[in-house]
Structures are given as C-alpha cells and as structure tokens.
Amino acid sequence: MEYVMKVKKRNFEALMNGDLTFVIHKVDKFYSAGDRLVLFETDGGNETGRSLTVRITYIMHSEDSLGIKDDYCVVSVKRSGKNTRTNVGNRPASEDEAVEYAAKLGKSADCARRFYNYYSMTGWKMKSGLPLSDWHAALRNWKDFQGTQKTPEQAETDSQLELLLPMLLKKTAGLAKQKEKLVFHDPHIGTVLQFYGFDRLEYPFNAFEVREMVKHYATSKKLGTGCPQMRSPNPYGKGTLQVPTIEEFSAILQKKKAENNVPHDQKEPILKV
C-alpha cells in the first residue's frame, strides 16, 4: 500500500540526508512493513512542492516501548533505489507560463487558466494524492470539458486521420523493409512511426488505440516537432521510400479505387518507392 504523510521542512531535510530514519505518526491507518510512504515537505504549514518516497521497514507501538503515546507509532523508514523520489518544479512558475505553453499546443488561454486554477486548488497533486511529476504532460493531456466543441471541419479531419493514418503507417512499415531509408512528406507521420516502431504496426489497433495514435500525431503537429526521415529496419535495403501525407495518400487511394478495372500489372503502387 502507499500512504501520504506531511513532514516539516527540518525533518524532511534530515530524512533526505539520511540523518533521520523514522517518523512518528498517529495510528490513523493500518501501516505495515513494506508499505510505501510519500512524504510531503511543509514550511509554515504550506507544502513546498517537494516530496520523498520511502519504504516502511519496522513499526513500534505504545505497547512495544515506553515513551510512545497511545494511538501513536514510530515508523522506521528506508530510502533505496527506485523507492526514493524527490519532485521539484512540478508546476509552472506562473499562470502566464501555463498560458504560453498552452498556446504552443493550440489550446486557448481560458483552457490554460482552468488547468492552472484546478491544480492550484489541489496543491499540484493528482487524484491519488501524489504530486505531478510533469505539468507539461498534464497540460498536454488535459481534457477541457468546458472548452469549445470541435468544429465540423475539425471533426472531419479527425475522422479522416483515424481512418487513413493506421492504414498508411501499416503500409509504410511493410514497404520499409525493402528500402534503406524513409523520407516523410509530413514529418509528424514520421514521429508517430518512430513512437510505435515498425514491429508494432504489423498488428491491428482497436478504436481506442487509433484515437491515441491520432493524438500523438496532433500533439507533434501542435508542438512543431517531427521526424522528416529515418532509416528502415532492413540494414541491406537500397533506395528511399517516399511516404506521402494523409491528403496525398487519400488521393492515391481514390485513384486506385477508380482504377479497379485496370489489369493488375498496369496498376501503380500505393506508395512511391
């Protein structure tokens, strides 16, 4: 189990340094050896934003030793490896910083303010009580239910992406094994392929996974990042695979559909190689 506990700054520093190896707390939960404690540093009654995760190694109650008050316990803790965690800087310096980053994502200033106000109210913690480790990621995935709904054009674009993006990536991953490198007309498609990898695209995606794929594409586009080219998984491949944009791929499919009656040996390939 994992529990949350507040610790004064002086004691927090001692726990960080290893000078203090226990905490005294009221028996308000069923603590046991092996449980984890997330300790939040406080200064003057306010949380500083720093936290430390430790593991309980031993517990002493009032019946185990003189000097321990009833309903209190001495909890011996240990910091080790991945069980140690300190979170600092898990919040934007100001509301303006959140607004500025939201603009890069294509989100509105009102959306950023709602995000900032919500997490300011929670003390920059998640619903589990643990602190945010990356507020940028939290804002990227923020569901702004009070925001504006998608326009018909946006909804149509998303539908087209959900239909064509998995098809294009699967076709690309298959053809890439014959080539030396790939060049993407749309570098954001390259980012998605880089994220999932060639092998993953050999298997079908369910509806939820397709929406996540489209989200990765949209995030790359909003942030202005992209992968214009990459090496194929075939070390002996030759030549370059030109990967079209979604619009180009759609046009290729329409053309192929119109040429269904053309003999197979006269048909053009789906992707230019």
Residue 34 lies in a domain: yes
The pLDDT assigned to 156 comes to: 67
Q: Is residue 89 part of a domain?
A: no
Query: Does 166 map to a domain?
Result: yes
Residue 220 and residue 177 in one domain:
yes
pLDDT at 273: 41
Average pLDDT, the chain: 81
| Whether residue 258 sits in one domain with residue 157 | yes
- Does pLDDT of 243 surpass 60? yes
Looking at the domain assignment, is residue 23 inside a domain?
A: yes
Are residues 6 and 70 located together in one domain of the fold? Answer: yes
Q: Is residue 165 domain-shared with residue 135, that is, in the same domain?
A: no
Q: State the average pLDDT over residues 250-255.
A: 88
Q: Note the pLDDT tens digit of each residue in 115-174.
A: 888 888 777 877 766 777 788 888 888 876 655 455 566 666 778 888 899 999 999 998
Q: Is 146 part of any domain?
A: no
Ranges 22-26, 100-104, 179-183, 257-261: which has the least confidence: 257-261
Q: What is the pLDDT of residue 85?
A: 47
* 234, 176 Cβ separation under 8 angstroms: yes
Rounded CA-CA distance 87/8 in Å is 16
Q: Identify the domain boundary among 83, 107, 131.
A: 83
Q: What is the mean pLDDT of residues 16-38?
A: 83
Is 104 a domain residue?
A: yes
- Find the angle CA(245)-CA(249)-CA(250) to the nearest 5 degrees: 120
Q: How many CB atoms sit inside 10 A of residue 135's CB?
A: 21
Residue 263: predicted pLDDT: 55
Reported as a pLDDT band with limits 50, 70 and 90, residue 268 is very low
Verify that 235 and 170 share a domain, yes or no.
yes
Quote the domain boundaries for residue 232: 152-266
pLDDT at site 201 = 87
**Does 134 lie in the same domain as 156?**
no
Last residue of a domain, one of 35, 56, 83: 83
Together in a domain, 179 and 104: no
Model confidence at 271, in pLDDT bands (50, 70, 90)? low
Same-domain check for residues 183 and 258: yes
DSSP assignment of 116-163, as one string?
HHHHHHTTSB-TTSPBPS-HHHHHHT---TTSPPPPHHHHHHHHHHHH
| Beta pairing partners, 4 | 38
Q: What percent of the chain has pLDDT over 90?
A: 16
**Is 163 within a domain?**
yes
202 and 129, same structural domain? no
Which CATH number do you get for residue 35?
2.30.130.30
Residue 55: is its pLDDT beyond 80? yes
Q: Are residues 186 and 228 part of one domain?
A: yes
Residues 157 and 136 in one domain: no
Residue 272: the pLDDT is: 52
Please write the tens of the pLDDT for every residue from 56-87: 899 888 888 888 888 888 989 887 554 444 45
164 and 212, same domain (yes or no): yes
Instruction: Specify the number of domains making up the chain.
Output: 3
